[in-house]
Structure 1
Amino acid sequence: MTPNSASAAPSRRSFLASSAVAAAAVAGGLPLLAACGGSDGGSGGGTTSGKDAKKLLPSYAANNVVTPDIPARNGSAVGFTGPLDLAGLKTSVPKKLGAGGKVTIMSPFWGSPPKQDNAYYRGMNDLIGVDVVWQNQDGNTYEQKLGAVLASSSVPDVVVIPGWNMGGKIPSAITGKFADLGPYLSGDKVKKYPNLAAIPTDAWQRCIFGGKLRGLPMPASYVTNIVPFYRKDIFDREGYRLPRSADEFMALAKDITNARAKRWACLDMKWTAFNVFGVLSGSEKPLGWELVDGKLIYRVETQEYLEALEWTRKLFAAGYVHPDAELGKSAQTDSGPKFAAGEFLIYNDDISQWYSRTAEQAAQNPDFKISGMDVFGHDGGAPTLWATQPANIFAFVSKKAPESVVRDVLAVADVTAAPYGTKEYMLTNYGVEGTHYTVENGVPVKNDKGNNEVINAYVMVASPAATVAHPDFPDVARAQVEWQQRMGAVTKKSSFYGMQIAEPSRWTNLSNDFEQLEDDIVRGHKKISDMQQAVSDWRSKGGDRLRDWYKKLLDDNGPAAG
């Protein structure tokens, strides 16, 4: 399990191509993708940062109930590598904060929702002191349901909204429909809820919508979640050396590839190429802007962007990329069996696959070993990586909710935000011991009832600081966190890092076609000159005016990152 490990993949469409990926991620408390920008329904939009934001944010107070084996550093998650000792679990919520009221929560759900009256829901509600009633909705069509509910006069007490569902009119609906939580959480008021107080300030910054603190966050590491994975067992056996530059990677790819033997070097490495060449983040539109010599530059306007596409195109053109990758990006998600079979030795994907691939192969392929390359600079020097967002899924409370309901919702959140190694965390993430899981050699193992009931629910309300814990594969947990720490040391925060920004509606779809054009170029269907023309068109159709809008936003508010 990888609760709250970082994830803000560059392509919402490709990463969510498989609902199984979404389900697995959310079941593990794993934030998926960042918001794609929104619409304020008019010409406005904007954000809140600087001094104005500081007045709204909860005071941070570290939670010392549990000490992680690997502390957070350089934006990494915290890591736990020891076996679980159920007898030694700590208590982070010593008394029920709920007043026994009823709270309805609408949330996306992947799979078949359990019946409301199940052992997991009963156990959680009893611990919290609140009667939570779940209105689970199909995660694959959640955006449509969300739009309909927010357009109506009947909104549940709590609505969970992932960042990738914040398109169209959703951002303006958030401002219009949901309560200001500042009177309950701003400044030292949050100390009534110690687990919420321990959520990093960056994550709370993302919860400011329309000038008010409206959301409860699911925090994430801001370090890039895209890891260049490789078959360490085969590399060791064949004597392959890890590349330290773009040219060395190309030479390694040539050495590995033998099409007659059904072995190719890699899958589509575009995501890694963007990191290798220092391209600004594409995980959320505002992150793609950076102030350079007094002028805001968008990621697609940079030379690094073109160089990354050209390098990836050369990998395809030379025949080093597995043929499946020619068929489309879905091959990236369904790559497990062929990676295990050694048909290709390198691919890039979410950091959570470090664990999932290891767990998949542990019994049937004991020699299998996956590891992650450190991202290298294209010229052999240190890379320049760009931070992703520190929270991507949010829970909101209806404006119509009375104070008693708001307090009960915060009681729920204080339990679900409990840190790993506590009784509250175990119940939230694993259910009731003996009913939903057993612990074998310090490793919690869910049974069928646990797999059916303890998914997609309470973890969506709020979560602790980004955490990586695999009691069954502690070496993987350590490797993940240490990779984040090394990559975090070369990570920069771009001009709009941490801000919750709603772009004006007339421009918010302006850059939607770039991703498809990128993929056409790297597969040889289009040319670099086509991208240069597309960028020119983007500027004339509104890109330059959008630049001016962002520049005024920056001048008025200042950057969120210190």
Structure 2
Amino acid sequence: MVQHQIGRRSFLQLTGLAGLALATPATLAACGPGNSGTGASGAADGAILPSYLPYTGVRPDLAGSDTFMAAFYGLPAKPPAAFPKPPAGGGSVTAMVNVFGPPPPAKSHNGFWQALDRAVGTDLELNMVPDSDYPTKTSTVLAGGDLPDIMNLPLYTPRLGQVLPALFADLAPYLSGDKSHDYPYLANLPTDSWRPMVYDGHLFGVPVARMSTGTVIFTRSDILDDLSLDPNPGTWDDFVALAKDLTSETDKRWAFDDPHRLFTFAAASLGAPNTWQLGRSGEFVNMITSEAYADALDRTRQFITKGYLHPNGFSATFDQTRANFGTGACVFHSDGYLAWDILSASYPDIGIDALRPLKTPDGKAYQFTSAGALSLSAVRKGDEKSVRRSLEVLNWLASPFGTKEYLLRKYGVEGTHYTMSDGAPVKTALGTTETALPLQYVVDSAPVLGPGPRDRVDAQYDYHKTVAAELLEDPSIGLYSETYAKQGATLQKIVTDARTEILLGHRPVSSWADTVSQWKSSGGTAMGTEYTQAHAKNPR
């Protein structure tokens, strides 16, 4: 298939990528803690976003909505077909995506991949790049201009708000509003997951969707039960009292595992904004300038000084924090919502629940939302036929939970790649090897809870339904700031370095005012002004 070409020098000059190696997710976290926006310009409003279309072909055990997930105890006995025939209409489609494990066998030796092509109706060629090499490969491909039909781009890609309109198709003519119903399984993705796809009134990319629930504070419910402790503290002070009762150096048990995630939990519990806040006059105010942020620094430092944080909290890897939780060395663990199933599978004999948001001093409880998307898959510029073929492929890959297409994509061909046991698919050795295509990082089905044991699914559903009413959005999601695009990593480092020094006890909390002044003069004020202007142009 003919690839879209753009001169390397022109592209580098256009995007400012000359001499710039793509940074890592950690260094390009957005300014102010927690924001990982794409650099989109102009708010994502109802005129641009796809109209949400719930899928009704498989009835959930517990109904969901656009803001919280439906839940399933198991797969349907008779999975329905999502498509009457292969939708892509022949030809070939190329895609570039990252792979996190060993790559699967090549298509010529991979029966699953061949079955996938037949079901989709096209020759799907995947360029699977190891995750460690993906930033460099992305930079090379974007600068060279020899683009695949579909390219997965992390939200932290530098200059993404400039890269997208320069190289990739505006999908608004195909997906905005009810037009998205031509691709019903893309329209089934949560509305919030589409917001980071918007740039200056245009829609660039399909989200690898996640619910915008944000970070979950998991609890070892079995330990709390054994100690006869209340698992539902109401306020931050109640939480600190619970941490005191839990912590025991004799038993090698501490309350929390990670100081920075503990701080974010404290900030939400004490009423800080979720990264940015709209002021009364429509101005954007960053959370680091709030009194609640400084209060959270002080309270978190006190928590650490009292010995309630694991001794290795500042040095532990993320995998080690999960292990500390699983072994009972820590009773609370901050993680993504998908970790509920991961932790349950890794430690099947422990009890797991999730802490509800604490009440802030104003009596309300807030759950900080996330961006709603892990990454995006952009479609290269081309004629309408080629763009629609790519969208047909993406729509097929987003086939909803419980359909025949979902089963094929996730597990392969029954009898060859998996067998059914007690109503659940169990992969064969061949299935484990051949189905390792990273399709879920091109696009995935709308998120659901389950399938799984009824008690776990019920607990997950109760948590998500509760926090859905307490979500606090970051209003900068879907907005573009040139200062953030150029200086985001530098501004974030100012904040992170100073916060770490305070939490370690190397600097007093009173020094935070100097950090805020430095952040403002280094670009923070300009960034807020740019977000304010972008929001005024296209308010949500």
| Superposition TM-score, scaled by structure 2 size | 0.86
State the 1:15 CA deviation.
13
Corresponding position: 1:250 with 2:240: yes
State the 1:301 CA deviation.
0.5
1:34–1:163 contact (8 Å) kept in structure 2:
no
C-alpha change, 1:234 and 1:310, in structure 2 (3 Å) is: same
C-alpha change, 1:48 and 1:376, in structure 2 (3 Å) is: closer
Secondary structure of the corresponding residue to residue 133 of structure 1: strand
Gaps of 5+ in 1: 1-10, 17-32, 39-44, 283-287
Q: Give the aligned partner of residue 503 of structure 2.
A: 522
Q: Following superposition of structure 1 onto structure 2, how do residues 22-171 of structure 1 map, counting pairs within 5 Å?
A: 35-38=36-39, 46-50=41-45, 54=47, 56-73=48-65, 75-81=67-73, 83-85=74-76, 87-117=77-107, 118-164=110-156, 166-167=157-158, 169-171=159-161
Q: Give the aligned partner of residue 278 of structure 1.
A: 271
C-alpha change, 1:223 and 1:292, in structure 2 (3 Å) is: farther
1:110–1:456 contact (8 Å) kept in structure 2:
no
1:278–1:386 contact (8 Å) kept in structure 2:
no
Paired residues in the alignment total: 505
Which letter maps to 1:323? P
Secondary structure of the corresponding residue to residue 489 of structure 1: helix
Q: Following superposition of structure 1 onto structure 2, how do residues 282-431 of structure 1 map, counting pairs within 5 Å?
A: 282=275, 288-292=276-280, 294-328=282-316, 330=317, 332-362=318-348, 366=349, 368-379=350-361, 381-399=363-381, 401-431=382-412
Of the three residues 418, 424, 429, the one matched with 1:437 is: 418
Q: Give the aligned partner of residue 20 of structure 2.
A: none
State the 1:374 CA deviation.
0.9
1:217–1:393 contact (8 Å) kept in structure 2:
yes
1:103–1:157 contact (8 Å) kept in structure 2:
yes
Which letter maps to 2:480? I
Of the three residues 26, 36, 51, the one matched with 1:13 is: 26
State the 1:116 CA deviation.
2.8
C-alpha change, 1:325 and 1:60, in structure 2 (3 Å) is: closer
Query: Deviations along 1:473-532, whole A, 9 cap, x unmatched?
Result: 3322332232122112122334334x2535344443352111233233222223222322
1: CA distance between counterparts of 2:230 and 2:114? 53
2: CA distance between counterparts of 1:160 and 1:228? 29
1:263–1:344 contact (8 Å) kept in structure 2:
yes
State the 1:258 CA deviation.
1.9
C-alpha change, 1:194 and 1:46, in structure 2 (3 Å) is: closer
C-alpha change, 1:147 and 1:210, in structure 2 (3 Å) is: farther
Q: Give the aligned partner of residue 18 of structure 2.
A: none
2: CA distance between counterparts of 1:58 and 1:320? 46
1: CA distance between counterparts of 2:459 and 2:28? 23
1:175–1:210 contact (8 Å) kept in structure 2:
no
Q: Give the aligned partner of residue 27 of structure 1.
A: none
1: CA distance between counterparts of 2:176 and 2:254? 54
Query: Deviations along 1:406-443, whole A, 9 cap, x unmatched?
Result: 23212211211111111111112222222222221122
1:171–1:502 contact (8 Å) kept in structure 2:
no
C-alpha change, 1:520 and 1:73, in structure 2 (3 Å) is: farther
Which letter maps to 1:235? L
Q: Give the aligned partner of residue 222 of structure 2.
A: 233
State the 1:70 CA deviation.
2.0
State the 1:120 CA deviation.
2.1
C-alpha change, 1:311 and 1:133, in structure 2 (3 Å) is: same
C-alpha change, 1:301 and 1:478, in structure 2 (3 Å) is: same
1:79–1:467 contact (8 Å) kept in structure 2:
yes
C-alpha change, 1:58 and 1:146, in structure 2 (3 Å) is: same
Q: Share of identical aligned residues, percent?
A: 29
1:74–1:488 contact (8 Å) kept in structure 2:
no
C-alpha change, 1:380 and 1:456, in structure 2 (3 Å) is: farther
Q: Moved runs in structure 1, 4+ residues, more than 4 A?
A: none
Query: Deviations along 1:362-411, whole A, 9 cap, x unmatched?
Result: 2xxx3x21111112124493322333223332111111x44333232122
Of the three residues 474, 490, 496, the one matched with 2:470 is: 490
Which letter maps to 1:407? R
Query: Deviations along 1:238-296, whole A, 9 cap, x unmatched?
Result: 101122221122222222222133222221322322321233334xxxxx243345432
1:233–1:370 contact (8 Å) kept in structure 2:
yes
2:38–2:197 contact (8 Å) kept in structure 1:
no
State the 1:73 CA deviation.
4.7
Secondary structure of the corresponding residue to residue 357 of structure 2: coil
1: CA distance between counterparts of 2:301 and 2:311? 14
C-alpha change, 1:379 and 1:446, in structure 2 (3 Å) is: farther
Which letter maps to 1:260? T
Secondary structure of the corresponding residue to residue 358 of structure 2: coil
Secondary structure of the corresponding residue to residue 250 of structure 1: helix
C-alpha change, 1:381 and 1:445, in structure 2 (3 Å) is: farther
C-alpha change, 1:542 and 1:326, in structure 2 (3 Å) is: closer
1:37–1:502 contact (8 Å) kept in structure 2:
no
Corresponding position: 1:479 with 2:459: yes
2: CA distance between counterparts of 1:201 and 1:320? 39
C-alpha change, 1:370 and 1:477, in structure 2 (3 Å) is: same
State the 1:448 CA deviation.
3.2
Which letter maps to 1:532? A
| Range 128-137 or range 349-358, more displaced | 349-358
State the 1:134 CA deviation.
0.6
Which letter maps to 1:529? S
2:274–2:472 contact (8 Å) kept in structure 1:
no
C-alpha change, 1:116 and 1:502, in structure 2 (3 Å) is: farther
1:246–1:380 contact (8 Å) kept in structure 2:
no
1:219–1:465 contact (8 Å) kept in structure 2:
yes
State the 1:103 CA deviation.
0.9
Q: Give the aligned partner of residue 8 of structure 1.
A: none
Query: Deviations along 1:206-234, whole A, 9 cap, x unmatched?
Result: 3223532221122222222x222221112
Of the three residues 213, 218, 229, the one matched with 1:223 is: 213
Which letter maps to 2:256? C
2:37–2:196 contact (8 Å) kept in structure 1:
no
